Structure 1
């Protein structure tokens, strides 16, 4: 799609935008990479302000954007670097709470329109939770438009005082890949053998090893699966601060669970899996849930955050923290191939209704145009 010159903001083209990303989780970083590529393809000039390691991992420059290294820190040097990068922008788009707060500081005293996307909810307790609420209010009251990747994030922005809060269309980068895709050199039996799951069901969970992921509940449920014949194997891909705690429990209780660390190719794991498990205390627009449904893998997930809206009736949804319900749901699904097939069919249908990358870029570009078009005089 080519830009229409007559509809160019300020009567000129190209539109100059800055995308601001903090440390960025995998979902928001991949989204910014996809968004940058789509905007550049439509003639928009894009600068991505992010730590250097983010550009190495997601190759924003490879998408045609300029990259400016801006550290995660909110110290004056970081804010000054961001202010310099935004000086000639027609519009700035920040992703996440900390990145958007730094952007608010950098744009102080300027009238540059600011779009903010919340991809996740910031988690904290005590004094830090109070601080985060103050940051949220400052960001929300400054932003021209707040975008949330799930309806509860949009509601949170409105309750915090947003003048304009909308649901973001967020297409999963790389969507549309065939569910039957697999590396011909690594067929499904080979992957299962490498994971130690030959002749037994394989259950896959993906996500950082932190307390919000509910892996303690997953290990509680895994005790019940030891009584099945054959015993299912749970494989958890991810790294994080709880690795040693979880590994100790797995060893002490002889649980059928393997922690395999960070894995670059989640679709490869899903292609070998019988079930996908998502046990988090909160999720917005879970990338793993989307990948599972695209891959045609039945999903068991917690009924939290944006998950119900995302998956509809295409997953088994459970209360967070209920190990017995999780154990029972897995046992039932493993014994019921017809139910698994029904979930696969529903998953394909549900995924077909999600926004595409093109639709995501189109929504964002429409908002940019809306905010940068000259307003008629009264």
Structure 2
């Protein structure tokens, strides 16, 4: 794709954007890095406001953006720092609910256009769920444009009061890997041996150990897999507050499940797996779903949020919370190599329909151009 320049044909100054990131959402952080790289390449001046550790992990400065440290906090000092960083910007683009709320506070009283991207929805139960709905309403009404990464998020933004909500399906940036790699077959065999799945199926789930991820349903389903021969091994990569609860269930119920904790080799784990599992209560554009389809690994997922729109007919979809349906879908796939191969082929075709990083940047830049007035000469 031919790069789009942010310079006006009449010699106007380059567009200056501020990207605001909370730093707690991996997919959003990777998207901001990709977006910053693409915007800088097109002549846009980009400042990324994010916690210092986010820049260490995603290297925004390495792609030509300026980084300003802004803590993940809505206290007056953080809001004041964000307000100062946004001074003189042509527009501000915030990613995620909490970052968007802080940005709305920082831009209060200014006419600077505010674009908000909802990469996912916030998850909570009880009183906190009500609080998050209030934040969503405040952010939706404050934003000039809300970009939702799925149709479900766009609909949610409209119901919440957004003046202008649009679909902006973002690409999954490619993983940065070391330049020297083992051969794929050797890596697969090594990981399966390390996990104890040399002569048994390996099922992989990835996600924080929180209630909405559905790992409790996954453990319920694992009881049925004890009747299979050989018994598959389920591994869960991720960490979170439910670690102790899940570990106690695994031990007391003698389930064929291992908690791996945080892993930085998810791509290698996926390449070693026979199936990928996504039992969540809600997902937007799940990175695991995207990586599984690209890697030709059959996926069993819940039919929630943006998953049906994302995967089409390239995965087995089951209702959320239905352990029997999840267990049966996995059992059928393990016993049907032809079906697994069909899903693998469909996955590659479906992945080819997703936007590229270039297309994602071009779409966002078209929104920027629409919202910004001609800028005076510098």
Structure 2 partner of 1:237: 237
Structure 1 residues without counterparts, runs of 5 or longer = none
Deviation at 1:131, TM superposition (A): 2.2
Structure 1 partner of 2:312: 312
Alignment map for 1:3-152 (pairs within 5 Å): 3=5, 5-7=7-9, 12-152=12-152
TM-score by length of 2: 0.94
Asked whether the 8 Å contact 1:274–1:298 carries over to 2, the reply is yes
Structure 1 partner of 2:348: 348
Structure 2 partner of 1:283: 283
Deviations 1:172-220 (A, max 9, x none): 101899xxx9732852111111111001101010000111110011011
The alpha-carbon distance between structure 1 residues 7 and 307, as it changes in their structure 2 partners (threshold 3 A), is farther
Structure 2 residues without counterparts, runs of 5 or longer = none
Separation of aligned partners in 2, 1:352 and 1:182: 25
Deviation above 6 Å: which 4+ runs of structure 1?
Answer: none
Asked whether the 8 Å contact 1:24–1:96 carries over to 2, the reply is no
Give the number of equivalent residue pairs: 370
Structure 2 partner of 1:266: 266
Asked whether the 8 Å contact 2:6–2:44 carries over to 1, the reply is no
Separation of aligned partners in 2, 1:327 and 1:303: 15
Deviations 1:313-353 (A, max 9, x none): 00000000111111111110000000000000110000000
Deviation at 1:306, TM superposition (A): 0.4
Separation of aligned partners in 1, 2:152 and 2:81: 33
Q: Quick check: 1:295 aligned with 2:295?
A: yes
Deviation at 1:55, TM superposition (A): 1.0
Separation of aligned partners in 2, 1:283 and 1:188: 28
Quick check: 53-62 or 84-93, which moved more?
Answer: 53-62
Deviation at 1:266, TM superposition (A): 1.3
Deviation at 1:4, TM superposition (A): 5.7
- Report SS of the residue matched to 1:84: helix
The alpha-carbon distance between structure 1 residues 7 and 315, as it changes in their structure 2 partners (threshold 3 A), is farther
TM-score by length of 1: 0.94
Structure 2 partner of 1:339: 339
Deviations 1:15-52 (A, max 9, x none): 11000011331111111111111111111111110111
Deviation at 1:128, TM superposition (A): 2.3
Separation of aligned partners in 2, 1:328 and 1:122: 30
Alignment map for 1:155-234 (pairs within 5 Å): 155-174=155-174, 183-184=182-183, 186-234=186-234
Deviations 1:125-155 (A, max 9, x none): 3332222222222211121110001111100
